[in-house]
Amino acid sequence: MIFLTRRATFSASHYYWNDAWSAERNAQAFGRCANRNSHGHNYTLEVTVAGEPDPVTGFVVDLKWLKDVIEREVLSAYDHRHLNLEAPEFAAGKLLPTTENIAIAAWNRLQPAVTDAGGARLSRIRVYETSDIFAEYRGERGEL
Ligand code: NI
């Protein structure tokens, strides 16, 4: 078993806001991130697939294919977008576009496409909001 990672970057804006809460409570929970005019990040996305290298090509997956899948499934939806306003999973009343939720949403977008790839499976997603902060998701719901 080998783990192969492809990195991509995207820029997006977001804010954190819960419609069920008062402005005060939103400000208390989310601080500056509650500003409805939004702010941006340059995100780094890492997509790791796992599998056995093909005996002939030595590839787990074709990296150009993986690049195209990431572009089609994630970057086209998130890059240079306002996540709250343009990505349906982060619309008002749905998930907040936190680093954690972006990692889960990217997994959900990529997983069906990667499952179709012969022999490889999606293993891990990392989303870096800054060089100091990232969230990692492996598709598990399990207990803490
Ligand atoms: Ni932010």
| Residue 104: both structure tokens together | 């889960």
Check: CB of residue 88 under 8 Å from CB of residue 8: no
Catalytic positions, written as ranges = 33, 80, 129
To the nearest 10 degrees (0 to 180), the angle between helices 63-70 and 99-115 is: 130
Distance 48 CA to ligand 1 centre (A): 24
Check: CB of residue 7 under 8 Å from CB of residue 75: no
Structural fold of domain 2-137: Tetrahydropterin Synthase; Chain A (3.30.479)
Q: Which one, of 43, 47, 128, lies nearest residue 79 by Cα?
A: 43
For a pLDDT cut of 70, what percent of the chain falls above it?
96
CA 113 to CA 76: how far, in whole Å? 15
Distance 122 CA to ligand 1 centre (A): 26
Model pLDDT, residue 143:
66
Helix, strand, or coil (residue 47):
strand
Distance 66 CA to ligand 1 centre (A): 27
For 24-42, how does the pLDDT look when each residue is reduced to its tens digit (9 = 90+)?
A: 999 999 999 999 999 999 9
Model pLDDT, residue 117:
67
For 39-95, how does the pLDDT look when each residue is reduced to its tens digit (9 = 90+)?
A: 999 999 999 999 999 999 999 999 999 999 999 999 999 999 999 999 999 999 999
How far, in whole angstroms, is CA 66 from its chain's centroid? 15
Every domain of the chain and the residues it spans: 2-137
| Residue 130: both structure tokens together | 């800054």
How many helices and strands (H and E) does the chain possess?
5, 5
Cα torsion angle, 17, 22, 23, 25, sign: negative
| Residues 6 or more apart whose Cβ sits within 8 Å of residue 78 | 10, 12, 43, 87, 102, 106
Model pLDDT, residue 140:
85
Q: What are phi and psi of 81, to 5 degrees?
A: -120, 160
Distance 132 CA to ligand 1 centre (A): 13
